[in-house]
């Protein structure tokens, strides 16, 4: 686990309609582990909701903080694209244990994106466990790459 975090730090969670059922599962799983969860919605299924709305709710809380989030849409790709528009948010779609481990160990992601239409509950549990518990490796090459991304972010992103 990251040295600056504990399992009691809040995890912000949001989904669209395609991720709604998996979100309910993930929220319950996190609560059972004793993780503080802030569910940013939706609170009920709405076939007409849009993933950018929920990605924004979660990422506004995380941008510029040490917060973490989980976003779920049909494939995770829409959430990932939206989340990565926020300064300080590093999101990645993870579809198995390997991608989760590498995203955390090498990229130190603070937002995990899942695909509600492609991720089984049992796989989501494994992926979330890895994301919660695996530390960032801290290797110089990974720090160097993240620093480069941060410099690009500062150069091109406008903040409100």
Catalytic residue positions, numbered: 73, 106
Q: Name the pLDDT band for 2 (thresholds 50, 70, 90).
A: very low
Q: Name the pLDDT band for 131 (thresholds 50, 70, 90).
A: very high
Q: What is the pLDDT of residue 13?
A: 98
In-domain check, residue 2: no
Please, are residues 72 and 21 in contact by the beta-carbon 8 Å criterion? no
Mean pLDDT confidence for 65-94 = 96
Q: Name the pLDDT band for 160 (thresholds 50, 70, 90).
A: low
In-domain check, residue 131: yes
In-domain check, residue 114: yes
Determine which of 3-12, 65-74, 102-111, 120-129 has the lowest per-residue pLDDT on average: 3-12
Number of domains in the chain: 1
In-domain check, residue 6: no
CATH number at residue 45: 3.40.1400.10
Q: What is the pLDDT of residue 9?
A: 83
Q: Is the pLDDT of residue 138 over 50?
A: yes
d(Cα 18, Cα 96) in Å, to the nearest integer? 19
In-domain check, residue 52: yes
Mean pLDDT confidence for 19-33 = 98
In-domain check, residue 25: yes
Mean pLDDT confidence for 117-145 = 97
Q: What is the pLDDT of residue 6?
A: 45
In-domain check, residue 1: no
- Of 110, 98, 99, 97, nearest to 136 by C-alpha is 110
> For every residue of the chain, which 3-state class applies, written as one string?
CCCCCCCCCCEEEEECHHHHHHHHHHHHHHHHCCCCEEECCCCCCCCCCCHHHHHHHHHHHHCCCCCEEEEEECCCHHHHHHHCCCCCCCEEECCCHHHHHHHHHHHCCCEEEEECCCCCHHHHHHHHHHHHHCCCCCCHHHHHHHHHHHHHHHHHCCCC
The overall average pLDDT reported for the chain is: 93
Q: Which domain does 97 fall in, by range?
A: 11-156
Q: What is the pLDDT of residue 158?
A: 73
Q: Is the pLDDT of residue 46 over 60?
A: yes
Please, are residues 14 and 54 in contact by the beta-carbon 8 Å criterion? yes
For residue 144, what are its two tokens? 């160097």
In-domain check, residue 121: yes
């Amino acid at each position: 686990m990251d040295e600056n975090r504990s399992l009691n730090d809040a995890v912000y969670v949001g989904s669209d309609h395609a991720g709604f059922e998996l979100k309910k599962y993930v929220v319950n799983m996190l609560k059972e582990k004793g993780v503080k969860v802030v569910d940013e919605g939706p609170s009920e299924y709405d076939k007409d909701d849009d993933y950018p709305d929920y990605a924004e709710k979660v990422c506004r809380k995380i941008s510029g903080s040490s917060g973490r989030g989980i976003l779920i849409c049909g494939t995770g790709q829409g959430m990932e694209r939206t989340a990565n528009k926020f300064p300080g948010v590093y999101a990645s779609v993870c579809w198995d244990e390997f991608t989760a481990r590498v995203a955390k160990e090498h990229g130190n992601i603070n937002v995990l994106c899942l695909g509600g239409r492609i991720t089984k509950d049992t796989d989501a549990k494994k992926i979330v466990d890895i994301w919660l518990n695996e530390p960032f490796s801290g290797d110089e090459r990974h720090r160097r790459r993240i620093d480069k991304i941060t410099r690009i972010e500062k150069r091109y992103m406008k903040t409100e």
